[in-house]
Amino acid sequence: MPVSRHLIALSAAVCLAAGLAAAPATAEPRPRTLAELAEKHHKYFGSATDNPEFTDAAYLKLLGSEFGQTTPGNAMKWETTEPRRGVFDFTAAEEVMAFAEDHHQKVRGHTLVWHNQLPAWLTERGWTAGELRAVLKNHIQTEVRHFKGRVIHWDVVNEAFNEDGTYRETLFYKTLGPGYIADALRWAHEIDPHAKLYLNDYNVDGVNAKSDAYYKLIRQLKADGVPVEGFGLQGHLALQYGFPAGVQENIQRFADLGVDVAITELDIRMRLPATPEKLATQAAWYADYVKACLAVRKCVGVTIWDYTDKYSWIPGVFPEEGAALPYDENLQPKPAYHAIRKVLGG
């Protein structure tokens, strides 16, 4: 007996209704993170962090989800890693490393040789050149060996020059002469030839006496076969001093020397209180700095010096200044965050 056309139509309607009811609702796509947006440009976007923050679950959730790279702010510095001569303690650094590895983040090592945050046993006595060379070599090689294969970059020597381009008269410079920089790079490379080795400093954003000194030094080090492979522009800026001129030009000239360039500690502070106008200017500066990096192939990535005003170092060092980062003290994104996203294509 032939089936009624009405029954066929009714059956089709029932099936269609059932299918529609069973189909899941289309979810809104998850916004891409700063890390994912930067990866489209073959770069990383990261944040520094520090151990006191590791009790803050909300902070850690954003740190682990939004950023593709991290730098231990203090945990790898000499006073922490070798508090007594020959006695090494990597507990704090390992806490940061474990978090980074759990969240598939790259890690920059910071820092092997710096004139600040040194242990008292190192600074409160005199050293012969031979003694200090041995101490310095042992410190560098022990730390690099401990993290071998887990750190993509090392800030080997940090802040080696004064503003006028003369060598900073640190313990290492006064005792060993300027050759300590080449030695430090060679010693680190000997242990981990795959980590990229950087010199790192502040107020070298544009072309000036200090960045000229680094340009000449890196050019000479490379001519001498010393394994210097990167230059770090810290990027600690302040609205009251104006945006540095020639950032992209400066990045490009170091890239043309054959080294990578990284923006390593970016923050942009202001005199408090913050106002909508100041926050808008800050957002524009963040955008311009990130644009400068995107424009140069060998600029490999940007690290902000922690991501939230809640944990910024600025108020403790610069009284009545702050609000320097893309997230506020309540972990809410500021205009700077949205400006960075826009530049990255979000």
Q: Known catalytic residue: 159?
A: yes
The pair of structure tokens assigned to 98 is: 């474990």
pTM of the predicted model as reported, rounded to 2 decimal places: 0.91
39 is annotated as an active-site residue: no
Catalytic residue among 79, 265, 277, 329: 265
Q: What is the mean pLDDT of the chain?
A: 94
- C-alpha of 247 from chain center: 17
Give the residue ranges of DSSP H helices in the chain: 5-22, 34-39, 57-66, 78-81, 91-102, 120-123, 129-146, 171-176, 180-191, 209-223, 247-256, 276-294, 314-317, 335-344
pLDDT in tens, 222-278: 999 999 999 999 999 999 999 999 999 999 999 999 999 999 999 999 999 999 999
Q: How confident is the model at residue 175 (pLDDT cuts 50, 70, 90)?
A: very high
Report pLDDT digits (tens) over 24-34.
555 668 899 99
Which pLDDT value is given to residue 20?
A: 40
Cα–Cα distances (Å) from 344 to 38, 65, 291, 341, in that order, read 6, 17, 8, 5
Q: Considering 53, 66, 143, 159, which one is annotated as catalytic?
A: 159
